[in-house]
Amino acid sequence: MNSLIKLELTRALRNRKFLFFSVIYPSVIFLLVSNQTGTVDGTGLSIAKYVMVSMASFGALTAVLMGNSERIAKERENGWVRQLRLTPLPGRGYVLAKTASAAVVSLPSIVVVFIVAAVLKDVRLDAWQWLALTGAIWAGSLVFAALGVAIGYLASGDAVRPITMIVYFGLSILGGLWFPSTTFPTWLQDIAKWLPTHAYAALGQAIEQSQSPHAKDVTLLVVYFALFAGGAAWLYRKDTLKA
Amino acid sequence: MGGMTTTAVTATPVVGFEQVTKSYGSVRAVDGLSLVLRPGETVALLGPNGAGKSTTLDLLLGLKQADTGKVEVFGTSPREAIVAGRVGAMLQSGGLMDEVTVGELVKLACDLHPKPYKVADVIARAGIAQIADRKVNKLSGGQAQRVRFALATAGDSDLIVLDEPTTGMDVSARQAFWATMREQADQGRTVLFATHYLEEADAIADRVLVLHRGRLLADGTSAEIKAKAGARRIAFDLDGEIDEVPIRSLPFLTSVTVSNSGSAAGSGHTIRIQSTDADATVHALYGLGVYPRNLEVAGLGLEQAFVAITEAEEAKQS
């Protein structure tokens, strides 16, 4: 199990495109957007602070969603999943190794944005806030890791990339990771506030406002996690019987 | 290793199928299959496409569950036997992890095996030392097969299962592969392989299972299988008009075909016979008072034996 995690991680760290989009790209967007001064309506947070949390969440989302769904779909198709079932590795070990290695990459995605924000944009927070932000965004990314696994077991090797892209951009944009959802028309805001990405970014914003995360957001994330993880487990079992 | 262990191993079959059935929709892929593999046997599983070979191996490895009947490996469920490290397997449908090196993948297989060999030894034995640093997705078909073989032999397993292992290998690679495989068998392992190449079954296996439409048609040494299909092939030409009836009633025949040989004046015939006792058949042929020309008597290859057995079965069913 550990050796599979290590190998998955080695592979992820070798993939420059993946590392660029999950670790570097969010910081680049942060630098481009955070030049504006002022505050974001309804939050009292400076644009730099607001975008920092959005981009840290976006980076973690990229790290846990993009690699896994595509790999799982492809490896189901090429038979690597079958080959692993001929080893003593427990069935769920494959999914756990993928999730664990994604979690290792998502941590730098979060921290690099924070460092860039603190050093280049003078974002200042209390020590507990930095720690709580890192912990909350990292833990929250598990929701999307489960979603990535579910997509990997749902989609075929050909369809997985477009499906992942639609889900990824849809959740990022509508959830308000790119532009504050307060700039949306009201009807769209009504939809956006029920999305997992919206609740995810709201965790970090609450911490920046020195509040504890809202019960509604936490509940929403827990429900989505149960939904995605349950769906992934169900699809996994179906796939195992079929293979 | 004490005598106790040896006794215990001989007492429990390596593989036991008891009236196993597996269907996909209305298609019976495996139909009431019963078989027992004993320790140390090298067994070939032979059958045309769609005979149920892959399904049989999938059931044996616990990748599929039987609809009815019982599958046991070393007296336990297939999964338990795999977890105990007693089974190494190489499937045609088994893929490899992309974007890692061959060496890294073999190391993973060794790490996962409860009784692993040294990585370097596994690599050397599979003949992949020169490609150990190459990325898995950059391999040729034959090289990928060798890597699969390395994964199947990463540890000290008692049973090795191979599904068409030499697919994609050229002749020399194939020979090298079977030399390696024989070493495994000589160490007392049980080896079960499915193959299209009948000469492989003939040369390597000490027992051949012929599978057709999910059922076991024949089970024996390759010599026994050949005997079952009619051991010898007799061919000769006859000039002029012939009476087929006495030829068809020659003793020990399993099949007769008569064709126009189109030789002198278009009146000749070529007769091809399969016989379980060629001496007696030829003797009776001369007793008919005919003059056979170009008489040939040859042994039947396993391939022809195999075709004869499956054709006989299909004739029975239709």
pLDDT digits 0-9 by tens, B137-172: 999 888 998 999 999 999 999 999 999 888 878 888
B92 — pLDDT class (breaks 50, 70, 90): confident
> Which region among A170-174, B24-28, B182-186, B261-265 has the lowest average model confidence (pLDDT)?
B261-265
Q: Which tens digits make up the pLDDT trace of A203-232?
A: 999 999 988 889 999 999 999 999 999 999
Shortest Cα distance, chain B CAs vs residue A236, angstroms: 14
| Statement: residue A147 has pLDDT above 70 | yes
Chain B residues touching A78 at Cβ < 8 A: 95-96, 98
Calculate mean pLDDT across residues B100-116: 96
Average pLDDT, chain A: 90
- CATH number for region B11-227: 3.40.50.300
Task: Tell me where in chain B the CATH 3.30.70.260 domain(s) lie.
Answer: 230-299
Q: For helices A93-120 and A127-154, what crossing angle results, to 10°? A: 140
Q: What was the pLDDT predicted at B2? A: 40
pLDDT tens-place string over residues B291-318: 888 899 887 666 677 777 777 777 776 6
The residue-averaged pLDDT of B85-110 equals 92
- B8 has pLDDT over 60: no
Distant-in-sequence contacts of B169-174, Cβ < 8 A, 24+ apart: B169/B141, B169/B142, B169/B145, B170/B142, B173/B142, B173/B146, B174/B200
Q: How many other C-beta atoms can be found within 10 angstroms of the C-beta atom of residue B92?
A: 17
CATH topology of domain B230-299: Alpha-Beta Plaits (3.30.70)
Is the model's pLDDT at A150 over the cut of 50? yes
Q: A-contacting residues of B 42-71, CB under 8 Å?
A: 61-63, 65
**CA dist B200 → B49, B162, B167, B197, B204 (Å):** 17, 13, 12, 5, 6
B191 and B162 Cβ atoms separated by less than 8 Å: yes
- Which of chain B's residues have a Cβ under 8 Å away from the Cβ of A80? 94-98
More confidently predicted of B60 and B2: B60
pLDDT digits (tens, 9 = 90+) for A121-136: 999 999 999 999 999 9
| Angstrom distances, CA of residue A141 to CA of A63, A123, A196, A237, B60 | 9, 23, 10, 23, 40
- Using the beta-carbon criterion (under 8 Å), do A11 and B97 form an inter-chain contact? yes
**Which tens digit of pLDDT belongs to each residue from B222-269?**
888 777 766 678 999 888 778 888 888 888 887 888 888 765 555 788
Contacts of B287 (CB under 8 A, 6+ apart): none
A 10 A CB-CB count for B245 gives 7
Range(s) of chain B covered by CATH 3.40.50.300: 11-227
Whether the pLDDT of residue B30 is over 80: the answer is: yes
CA distance B125 to B154: 10
- pLDDT for the residue B184: 84
Average pLDDT in the A8-23 region? 90
Nearest residue of chain A to residue B24 (CA atoms)? A242
Chain B residue numbers touching A82 (CB-CB < 8 A): 63, 91, 93-95
What does the CA dihedral B86, B91, B95, B97 come to, rounded to 10 degrees?
20
In angstroms, the CA B114 to CA B82 distance is 10
pLDDT of residue B262: 61
C-beta separation of B275 from B252 below 8 A: yes
Q: Do B82 and A86 touch (CB under 8 A)?
A: yes
Helix (H, G, I), strand (E, B) or coil at B310: helix
In order, the DSSP letters of A109-170 are HHHHHHHHHHHHS-----HHHHHHHHHHHHHHHHHHHHHHHHHHHHS-TTTHHHHHHHHHHH
List A residues 47-86 in contact with B (Cβ-Cβ < 8 A). Answer: 74-75, 77-83, 85-86
Contact status of B264 with chain A (Cβ, < 8 Å): no
Rounded to whole angstroms, what are the CA distances from A70 to A21, A157, A183, B40, B250? Answer: 15, 7, 32, 43, 66
Q: Where are the domains of chain A?
A: 2-242
Q: Please tell me the predicted confidence (pLDDT) of residue B224.
A: 82
The reported pTM is 0.81
Using the structure block, give the residue that is written with the tokens 């209390």. Answer: A126
- What is the pLDDT confidence band of residue B288, given thresholds at 50, 70 and 90? confident
A241 chain-B contacts, CB cut-off 8 A:
65
Contacts of A88 in chain B (CB under 8 A): 82-85, 112-114
Residue A107: closest CA among A145, A51, A153: A145
pLDDT at B306: 73
pLDDT of residue B3: 40
Q: What is the ipTM of this complex?
A: 0.85
